[in-house]
Amino acid sequence: MLSSTLATRCTVNSGHVEIMESDEYDPEMHVFTYGSLMFPEIWRVVVGRESATIEGTVSGYSVYRVRRGAYPGMIASVAEDVVCGLVYLDVDSDSIARLDRFEGRFYERHTVEVTCMDGQPRVADAYVVPKRHTYRLTLEPWSAEEFVARGGIIDFTRRFQGFSRLEAEG
């Protein structure tokens, strides 16, 4: 289960956030998650396997709830903003392909710099909402605790279209 200390252990990293689009697989690719994919039960369904994780933060982004959805979108914002999340370590190319299908066209995979809770900086890919889709976000910050309290995991796995894309493509 997601650590309950995730939100309380976040600290602002004064480091620079580098954003680059990324479509190629690196054998040591890490994936920064900030929403429903932080929950191992959702991650396992999407990628079909477990992965080692570490908590971390990304500066220069904010997370908001998607309109008519229980899930969030992360957007570039001011340097002082910090997003808390979970980094999945050494994610293989098959899992990245499944994640790309799951996330669909609403998100773009970008490379971000993560400050991990072990003190080590890591480069990871994150699914970010591009400017052309920000109108689909509310002004309501997304909260993992609220997601769980509202029955979000069960509701999300029942309703999210990304699961049907995975089933259709095998």
Query: Once rounded to an integer, what is the mean pLDDT over residues 31-50?
Result: 92
Query: Once rounded to an integer, what is the mean pLDDT over residues 129-136?
Result: 96
User: At residue 8, does pLDDT exceed 50?
Assistant: no
Q: Which DSSP category does 135 fall into?
A: G
Q: Classify domain 20-157 at the CATH class level.
A: alpha beta
Domain positions in the chain: 20-157
Produce one character per residue of 55-64: b if its CB has 16 or more CB atoms within 10 Å, e if not: bbbbbbbbbb
Q: Greater confidence, 170 or 16?
A: 170
Query: Once rounded to an integer, what is the mean pLDDT over residues 123-150?
Result: 93
**pLDDT confidence bin for 135, thresholds 50/70/90:** very high
Residues 93-125 pLDDT 10s: 999 999 999 898 999 999 999 999 999 999 999
